[in-house]
């Protein structure tokens, strides 16, 4: 009889294998090392295996861990400071972002990732200029990292409306080299638990030469390009002014559209432009909550999928969205598209669950490793407790109601167990490798300092939230 | 020195008094009997009062308890069975609702109300033909009930498309009398903790004579009419076919529009019709999640408010929405309206928080009793733990970020304490007067029985969810 590392049993398993949700009843998932070794009937596994550890999840649903494909956790220290306002970046975020140090950003990073893990995220697609704190947390917490080093050569300064970005070759060179260094240091860490992607901030933030150099290097190393793409009218304006065509057309003409590209947002894309990108083999990340709050827009992810492209979900950042919870994004993607189409059949629950798991994994290049529970794949598994008001009752015939309840009703705190690469990283809702309280407590060091320094610009801009403060509306 | 029953202290209090959110820093709320006796500085209360019980909520935000103004908790036993489908009621809900007994419905009621309380709801606006289980739970749990007895004379049968409802005078008479009996038995219970409203199911479900009789009785008793109003094209069709005008016009001509009316949904109302209702003095309940999932529609609550009307939030029912969580509805009302208007400034967080508290209380006729924390009002108070990833960090200058974080980020489980009429009903997230587990466990008795009986109609209708089952998408 073979001895294995871990067996997890449960009455309901959504493997997400195949074209649907891969439902299985009463199964034992047998784990050896970082991988799923077998999936057998719950009443048979003990005839076949001895296990070092057994987790009997008797009133739970097992699922592949969720993928949050696009996060900027460095903004988490500014949660809740920039919503409900037009010109989100200039009028909302900038007064605070301009005075925030890297050390302060780093304090917010773990709290964002703790929030994500406690709502079922096992893979983070974090994406920043400085990835140190995020990488350190991923390393320590045991979660999976599909991490992107962000690059730009557009100078960091406040541009006037209509002013074209000024490219700084040296800055572009430095960020490119730092990205390469980061790639070589971390890509493949811990048996591939960390993968590194290349992150030009957007086609408007770098020169065409720089964009092409990044592409060449990514191709040579066999990694993907994770890039904000046609993310708003500001980008479209920059590109049209500079090159006389819209971003999608530019990228197409540059040969930038292919399976190497993960295009984020497409906020300003028409359905036709989204189709062009999808048909090239590129994938998409949609961040419904973030773009809903910031722009009041539902991005064309359905057009992208209809054209054959894979779409992942992302929570983006906390001063916009304002949270990092994939249950939130699953619900948003369904509801927002129903409202956009005025049709309740558009974007059903099972599609959102696939975006959070297997479709998301395919979109970010991890489709062969995670996103579904199948023999030989990485054991990234979460367990959802269904003895909660949000999940009850459980029907199995004539239809199962667990997927709709997960997408439309669950809040995130129903996730009680998380396993990544065969190792338990959360048990009974406690992260096992880190001290959550310590990380959360540190957050309180920042607001007074940042708030004090941000006050002059906040008051001088005198935006929506400044008005709300005067009027006792915050 | 006066001895009082309860003192609750906290660093942040949103009283919701005035026109904004009534923010106060570091206060003690002094409670005597069912009411707020005083609100004083946290460092002064011990000079003025002795307290039988003190709750030191040291890392918490105090708020008025939330109002869920429109619920059908009897449908909770069918959670998750009817979303993602056109013709929600006929193709989604009916195969299951048709075979569900009152006893089974009653088993689902407490679980729905437990879900609501654990997400901060202190007042339920439950609304059904049979209010026994709900009333019993409200009585026992200690929550506040603004309870509506539903009436109709339209026969309960499956109508063909285009067929007008058949009124049954005897059925109408019986439901009217049962409503009166229910009113006299429960209205004013426990010092007014339960109030009873009159609930004609909708203008299409009763004859004009019956509607007028209900109105007369409600006026005489001084209670309100809580009614689905222009809730969809089915209602509009019935009313236009029968009376040659749309529901709002009919109700206006009948003299039905005034401050006695609480109009629910307005799904099929134009902005102009919503304004007509608002200007009459009537109020509105909007259920964004429910109508979003069922119809893909954002109801005209902003037009209603702009015309001077008060709007409350409701979670409606679990086979549509699929949850009873006012944090969910606060977030939905903001995001859905931003998307509808493609404008991030529409419906900011503070407005949603007012709808869940003081504006909601005014809308349902409890504005003098609950909805804000003010001396002399009922002590219905919740405490939100802010040492959670979803709420951190806390800024107080130059702007406070707690209201945006409550509305856009919190999930409901941050609520750790609920007080209703001066009595603690939930502490450390445990309901103190009832055994939650007992109620939740009972839910598992129903699905097999209901599912078995529903199977023939579910398969014969062969709707969206039947297809999803065949295709392994549920």
Q: Which residues of chain B are within 8 Å of residue A437 when distances are taken between CB atoms?
A: 387
Provide the shortest C-alpha distance from residue B358 to chain A (in Å): 13
Give dist(CA B6, CA B372) in Å, integer: 18
B393 to A451: CB separation less than 8 angstroms, yes or no = no
Contact A413, A325 (CB under 8 A): no
- State the pLDDT at residue A42: 98
Per-residue pLDDT reduced to its tens digit, A86-141: 989 888 999 999 999 999 999 999 999 999 999 999 999 999 999 999 999 999 99
Per-residue pLDDT reduced to its tens digit, B342-361: 999 999 999 999 999 999 99
Which of A345, A405, A448 lies closest to B85 in CB terms?
A345
B84 to A409: CB separation less than 8 angstroms, yes or no = no
Q: Which residues of chain A are within 8 Å of residue B95 when distances are taken between CB atoms?
A: 398
Give dist(CA A329, CA A313) in Å, integer: 7
A444 to B393: CB separation less than 8 angstroms, yes or no = yes
B413 to A409: CB separation less than 8 angstroms, yes or no = no
Per-residue pLDDT reduced to its tens digit, B259-309: 999 999 999 999 999 999 999 999 999 999 999 999 999 999 999 999 999
- State the pLDDT at residue A157: 84
Give dist(CA A273, CA A107) in Å, integer: 39
- State the pLDDT at residue A154: 97
Predicted confidence band of residue B189 (pLDDT cuts 50, 70, 90): very high
A335 to B395: CB separation less than 8 angstroms, yes or no = no
Which of B95, B296, B451 lies closest to A338 in CB terms?
B296
- State the pLDDT at residue B458: 96
Task: Tell me the mean pLDDT in the region B17-42.
Answer: 98
Which of A21, A332, A343 lies closest to B296 in CB terms?
A343
- State the pLDDT at residue B168: 97
B349 to A83: CB separation less than 8 angstroms, yes or no = yes
Q: Which residues of chain B are within 8 Å of residue A411 when distances are taken between CB atoms?
A: 325, 328, 411-413
Contact B382, B415 (CB under 8 A): yes
B399 to A458: CB separation less than 8 angstroms, yes or no = yes
Task: Tell me the mean pLDDT in the region B245-271.
Answer: 98
- State the pLDDT at residue A89: 86
Which of B108, B389, B441 lies closest to A114 in CB terms?
B389
Per-residue pLDDT reduced to its tens digit, A398-424: 999 999 999 999 999 999 999 999 999
Per-residue pLDDT reduced to its tens digit, B400-431: 999 999 999 999 999 999 999 999 999 999 99
In chain B, whose CA is at the least distance from the CA of A340? Answer: B296
Contact B271, B228 (CB under 8 A): no
A389 to B112: CB separation less than 8 angstroms, yes or no = yes
Percent of chain B exceeding pLDDT 70 equals 100
Give dist(CA A277, CA A269) in Å, integer: 10
A447 to B393: CB separation less than 8 angstroms, yes or no = yes
Per-residue pLDDT reduced to its tens digit, A205-246: 999 999 999 999 999 999 999 999 999 999 999 999 999 999
Bridge partners for A418 per DSSP:
A382, A426
B443 to A393: CB separation less than 8 angstroms, yes or no = yes
Closest CA to A148 of A261, A289, A305: A261
pLDDT at A153 over 80: yes
Task: Tell me the mean pLDDT in the region B230-257.
Answer: 97
Tell how strand A423-427 and strand A430-431 pair up: antiparallel
Contact B127, B112 (CB under 8 A): no
pLDDT at B218 over 90: yes
CB neighbours (10 Å) of residue B395?
24
Give dist(CA B61, CA B65) in Å, integer: 12
Predicted confidence band of residue B159 (pLDDT cuts 50, 70, 90): confident
Predicted confidence band of residue A160 (pLDDT cuts 50, 70, 90): confident
Q: Which residues of chain B are within 8 Å of residue A388 when distances are taken between CB atoms?
A: 440
- State the pLDDT at residue B91: 86
Contact B181, B198 (CB under 8 A): no
- State the pLDDT at residue B455: 98
Chain A interface, best mutation among B17, B58, B76, B83, by max A CB count within 10 A: B83
Size of interface A-B (CB pairs under 8 A): 300
Residue B387 has which token pair? 């040492």
Contact B287, B316 (CB under 8 A): yes
pLDDT at B90 over 90: no
The secondary element (H helix, E strand) that includes residue B289 is helix B288-295
pLDDT at B158 over 80: no
Give the three-state DSSP class for A95: helix
Predicted confidence band of residue A352 (pLDDT cuts 50, 70, 90): very high
Per-residue pLDDT reduced to its tens digit, A294-334: 999 999 999 999 999 999 999 999 999 999 999 999 999 99
Q: Which residues of chain B are within 8 Å of residue A404 when distances are taken between CB atoms?
A: 80-81, 83-84, 322, 474
- State the pLDDT at residue A129: 95
- State the pLDDT at residue B220: 97
Predicted confidence band of residue B23 (pLDDT cuts 50, 70, 90): very high
Q: What is the mean pLDDT of chain A?
A: 97
Which of A297, A344, A394 lies closest to B447 in CB terms?
A394
Q: Output the CA–CA distances (angstroms, integers) from residue A177 to A106, A181, A183, A219, B137, in the order listed.
A: 22, 6, 10, 16, 65
Provide the shortest C-alpha distance from residue B124 to chain A (in Å): 16
A455 to B325: CB separation less than 8 angstroms, yes or no = no
- State the pLDDT at residue B424: 98
In chain B, whose CA is at the least distance from the CA of A118? Answer: B389
Closest CA to A178 of A154, A143, A142, A153: A153
B336 to A339: CB separation less than 8 angstroms, yes or no = yes
A474 to B118: CB separation less than 8 angstroms, yes or no = no
What ipTM, to 2 d.p.? 0.97
Per-residue pLDDT reduced to its tens digit, A54-100: 999 999 999 999 999 999 999 999 999 999 999 898 889 999 999 99
Task: Tell me the mean pLDDT in the region A350-374.
Answer: 98
Task: Tell me the mean pLDDT in the region B90-113.
Answer: 96
- State the pLDDT at residue A276: 98
Predicted confidence band of residue B157 (pLDDT cuts 50, 70, 90): confident
Which of B398, B459, B469 lies closest to A469 in CB terms?
B398
In chain B, whose CA is at the least distance from the CA of A113? Answer: B389
A20 to B295: CB separation less than 8 angstroms, yes or no = no
């Amino acid at each position: 009889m073979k001895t294995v590392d871990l067996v997890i049993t449960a009455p309901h398993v959504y493997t997400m294998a195949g074209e649907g949700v891969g439902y299985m009843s009463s199964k034992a998932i047998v784990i050896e090392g970082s991988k799923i070794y077998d999936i057998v009937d719950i009443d048979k596994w003990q005839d076949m295996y001895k296990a070092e550890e057994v987790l009997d999840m008797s009133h739970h649903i097992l699922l592949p861990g969720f993928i949050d494909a696009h996060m900027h956790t460095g903004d988490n220290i500014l949660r809740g400071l920039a919503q409900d306002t037009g010109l989100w970046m200039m009028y909302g975020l900038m007064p605070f972002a301009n005075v925030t140090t890297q050390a302060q950003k780093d304090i917010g990073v773990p709290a964002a990732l703790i929030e994500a893990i406690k709502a079922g995220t096992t893979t983070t697609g974090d994406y920043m200029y400085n990835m140190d704190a995020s990488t350190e947390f991923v390393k320590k917490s045991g979660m999976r990292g599909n991490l992107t080093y962000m690059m730009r050569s557009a100078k960091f300064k406040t541009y006037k409306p209509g002013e074209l970005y000024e490219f700084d070759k040296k800055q572009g060179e430095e960020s490119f080299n730092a990205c390469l260094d980061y790639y070589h240091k971390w890509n493949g860490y811990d048996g591939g638990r960390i993968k590194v992607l290349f992150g030009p901030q957007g086609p408007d933030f770098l020169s065409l030469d720089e964009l092409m150099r990044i592409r060449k290097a990514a191709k040579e190393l066999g990694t993907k390009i994770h890039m904000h793409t046609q993310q708003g009218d500001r980008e479209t304006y920059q590109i049209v002014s500079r090159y006389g065509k819209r971003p999608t057309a530019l990228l197409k003409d540059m040969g930038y559209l292919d399976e190497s590209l993960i295009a984020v947002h497409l906020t300003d894309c028409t359905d036709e432009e989204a189709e062009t990108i999808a048909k090239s083999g590129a994938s998409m990340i949609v961040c419904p909550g973030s773009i809903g709050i910031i722009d009041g827009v539902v991005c064309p992810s359905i057009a992208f999928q209809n054209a054959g492209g894979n779409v992942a979900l992302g929570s983006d950042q906390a001063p916009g969205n304002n949270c990092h919870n994939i249950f939130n994004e699953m619900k948003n993607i369904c509801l927002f598209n129903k409202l956009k189409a005025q049709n309740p059949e558009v974007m059903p629950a099972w599609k959102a669950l696939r975006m959070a798991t297997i479709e998301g994994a395919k979109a970010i290049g991890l489709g062969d490793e995670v996103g579904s529970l199948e023999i030989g794949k990485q054991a990234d598994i979460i367990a959802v407790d269904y003895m909660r008001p949000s999940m009850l009752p459980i029907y199995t015939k004539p239809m199962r109601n667990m997927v709709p309840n997960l997408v439309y009703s669950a809040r995130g705190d129903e996730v009680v167990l998380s396993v990544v690469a065969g190792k338990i990283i959360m048990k009974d809702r406690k992260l096992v490798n880190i001290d959550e309280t310590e990380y959360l407590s540190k957050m309180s060091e920042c607001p007074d300092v940042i708030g004090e320094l941000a006050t002059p610009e906040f008051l001088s801009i005198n935006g929506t939230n400044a008005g709300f403060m005067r009027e006792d509306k915050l």
